[in-house]
Structure 1
Amino acid sequence: MQQDENTPIDGHGTDENVRGAQASADGRPALYGRKVLSFVRRSARLDARLQRAWDAYSDTYLLKINAGEGSLDVRDGFVFDQACIRETWGNGNPLIVEIGSGQGENVVAVAAAHPETNFLALEVYDPGVAHTMLLAGKQGLQNLRIAQVNAPELFKAAADGSIAEVWTFFPDPWPKMRHHKRRIVQPELASDIHRTLAEGGVWRIATDIEDYALHVHEVMDGLKDFHNDGTLTVSLPVEHVGKGNADEAAALRHADFVESERFDGRVLTNFEKKGLAANRVIHDFTYRRV
């Protein structure tokens, strides 16, 4: 999920999952058993242009798989298998799923360039969904669909081997130490993605946050069922830093890690351009299912 104006990058918000846990009557934290989400759900009014796009294109592009109105969960009993994919896209072409498509700049451009491939954009924020539909609708794309659901819920509903690739480009960094558990790259999601990837399928990840790059290595490099296809050696600090402490990382002990060349299938979006202009290093990862 790209960090745009609709995306919190520091964990601020009114979502109760962000608040400090308070002891309940049975001694468990108040948030015990609740989902840890990688986003804060905030209402956002659509401007007239985006509302027109929603009205015009939602029947074409937006999958109706939610548990109910306003829910980001996938409805009970829904199975995202080859039969569902063939019915939705009208063919059996390989499917690429982008987690957090933001404004749709990347996924729409790539879908337009590759009509032989099916694409599914996962995005939770109304403006991002509407803007993606607007871009796709203007070009009459037939190989793109959008699901406004919590990404881990979609992968739990996906059948084994149903997806060719998964992309997660510039996810919310959640820089505060206590919020690192909300980062989208987690062992449980990695397990579900591995199960749903076709043989030899890959999970591509990119971030311009050094601390998040370390987090990706910690989650992914030790998994025996993924192979790190990278060929570049990069030096990263081996300890995490919290929000506002990034400058301290330079003095920490560093170690070498393996990462990938920039994925040439990723469009150079305005967001990535801003990161490069700010002299941030882009970290690319390619983890192949084995």
Structure 2
Amino acid sequence: MSGRQVAALEQLWPVYGLRVADAVPFDSAGPFDPAGLFGRRAPLVLEIGSGMGDTTVEMAAADPDRDYLAVEVHTPGIANLLYLVHLHELRNVRIAEGDALDLVELLPPDSVAAVHVFFPDPWPKSRHHKRRLIQPAHVARLRSRLAVGGTLHCATDWAEYAESMRATLDADPGLVNPHDGYAPRPAHRPVTRFERRALAVGRPIADLIYLRR
């Protein structure tokens, strides 16, 4: 990590950070209430795999009426996001360190306005497909946390994974595709670093946007 990132992690983690392993599960013994992280109750966006944080910061800055909870495992990415959040004086971003699916289990059902999964690892080898995030059991867990009408938005530059995602999302009985196929690229989703690299070598980008019934 750069010196700036090290300093951000040391100084800003206590302000904006949450370790998934330390959070209290959502149950009768002590619910995990995301509103406690932000000091207000607002629609919640879950960003799974925030990378270096540029996209999360840009979207949150343009969307101040919603709160963004970014979950990431890559320490330099977490540190960079902390720095950017502080630099832009954003009040509606918090960063969770740990497994995204463990975090999903902590969230109350029907509590999330949107889930963003932008350019997840495609695990291209067949023997690694079981590690992919977008598969039936995981999608069912994500959907259970979405409020009715909430959005599950995925994007990938890997054509085979895009087809797999679409088949999996189409098969989930609690989701509906308002675009009847791949979605037009939404203007509110910033161009990510992964996307720029993909476009530079001619790989098409697929956006998949589904709503909870």
Aligned 1:135-146 pairs, distance under 5 A: 135-146=84-95
- Could you tell me which runs of 5 or more consecutive residues in structure 1 were left unpaired when the two chains were aligned: 1-45, 68-74, 232-257
**TM-score between both structures, scaled by the size of structure 1:** 0.69
* Counterpart for residue 144 of structure 2: 195
Aligned equivalent of 2:135, options 176, 186, 194? 186
- Distance, in Å, in 2 between the alignment partners of 1:65 and 1:275 is 31
Aligned 1:186-225 pairs, distance under 5 A: 186-225=135-174
Where 1:66 maps in the other structure, the secondary structure is: helix
Aligned 1:6-155 pairs, distance under 5 A: 46-67=1-22, 75=23, 77-79=24-26, 84-155=33-104
- Could you tell me which runs of 5 or more consecutive residues in structure 2 were left unpaired when the two chains were aligned: none
- Distance, in Å, in 2 between the alignment partners of 1:47 and 1:265 is 30
RMSD value, Cα: 1.7
- Distance, in Å, in 2 between the alignment partners of 1:79 and 1:58 is 23
Where 1:274 maps in the other structure, the secondary structure is: helix
Q: Whose helix fraction is larger, Structure 1's or Structure 2's?
A: 2
Contact 1:82 1:162 survives alignment (8 Å): no
Aligned 1:251-270 pairs, distance under 5 A: 258-270=181-193
Shift in Å, 1:65: 3.7
- Identity, % of aligned positions: 36
Q: Which runs of structure 1 show a deviation greater than 6 angstroms over 4 or more consecutive aligned residues?
A: 80-83
- Distance, in Å, in 2 between the alignment partners of 1:53 and 1:116 is 25
Where 2:176 maps in the other structure, the secondary structure is: strand
Relative to 1, partners in 2 of residues 1:55 and 1:174: Cα closer, same or farther, differing over 3 Å?
Answer: same
Where 2:204 maps in the other structure, the secondary structure is: coil
Shift in Å, 1:102: 0.3
Contact 1:168 1:205 survives alignment (8 Å): yes
- Distance, in Å, in 2 between the alignment partners of 1:113 and 1:218 is 32
Shift in Å, 1:64: 3.9
Shift in Å, 1:199: 1.1
* Counterpart for residue 70 of structure 1: none
Aligned equivalent of 1:271, options 185, 194, 211? 194
Contact 2:33 2:107 survives alignment (8 Å): no
Larger radius of gyration: 1
User: Which deviations, in whole Å up to 9, do the C-alpha atoms of 1:232-272 show, x marking residues without a partner?
Assistant: xxxxxxxxxxxxxxxxxxxxxxxxxx110012221112321
- Distance, in Å, in 2 between the alignment partners of 1:277 and 1:190 is 30
